[in-house]
Amino acid sequence: MAVTTLLYPISEAYAISQYVYVTVPTNVYVDDAFINAAFWVYGYRDWRNFAYVIVSMAVYGFYSEFGIDMKIASYNVWNPPTLEVDNLLEAMYYRFSSQTLETEPKQIFIFLTGGDLYRNIYYGGRLVYIDYGVLGYTYYSLWYRGCVVAEISTRVVRHEVSHLYGADDHDDPNNPVDCVMCPYSESMDWCQTCKDVIWSNKFRFGFIIQQYSGAVPLQVEAVS
């Protein structure tokens, strides 16, 4: 399990963050299976409207709770060569993102599929199992890439984007938590622990658009 790391003490992070809004350009990609599902299953003639509903409902909580305003910057159709999540994330990164830790400002890239995501499980260099229970995926340790893949689910999108801000899974079936990061809960909200982590990592993506009087001054280095 990944270890949660806070960039600032919680009290300091909150003092800095509570007066500041951050805009995060968010790029949405869908495949033909998503477009077909949007029309034939959910009744949307324009798949962009369906994608907007899913993504905007997923990310609105980041705005209302943390002042992180994820604005959809583009809608794109992309049919990747595979829905195996490790290969899919790699393809997304090299084709669309290419962000590093030094990239400023960082964007977020969300791929939605109407198909079935899966993950190849290897042991000793051999494929031993194919996990078809994957609903969404991202790389916790490579958060700066900003890439997320998900099936059609608002909750899954919010869960995976939360990983980009450092929130961990609550994956102990014997200790379920009422939190969007817990697969044994249906909650769309964050527990206090996850809120504290996201507050601390609020400035990982995007750029500051508003700072109110009384806020702790931020040192922002211009990027040429």
Residue 218: its pLDDT value, please?
A: 40
Q: What is the pLDDT of residues 92-137, one digit of tens each?
A: 999 999 999 999 999 999 999 999 999 999 998 899 999 999 999 9
Residue 49 lies in a domain: yes
Residue 16: its pLDDT value, please?
A: 59
Give counts: helices (H), strands (E), the chain. Answer: 6, 8
Residue 105 lies in a domain: yes
Q: Is 121 exposed, middle or buried (0-12, 13-18, 19+ CB in 10 A)?
A: exposed
pTM of the model: 0.86
Residue 136 lies in a domain: yes
Q: What is the pLDDT of residues 126-162, one digit of tens each?
A: 999 999 999 999 999 999 999 999 999 999 999 999 9
Residue 219 lies in a domain: no
Whether pLDDT at 221 is above 50: no
Q: Looking at residue 133, which CATH number applies to its domain?
A: 3.40.390.10
The token pair at 59 is: 């990310």
Q: What is the pLDDT of residues 177-200, one digit of tens each?
A: 999 999 999 999 999 999 999 999
* Beta-carbon contacts of residue 32 (< 8 Å; ≥ 6 apart): 77, 79, 114
Whether pLDDT at 168 is above 70: yes
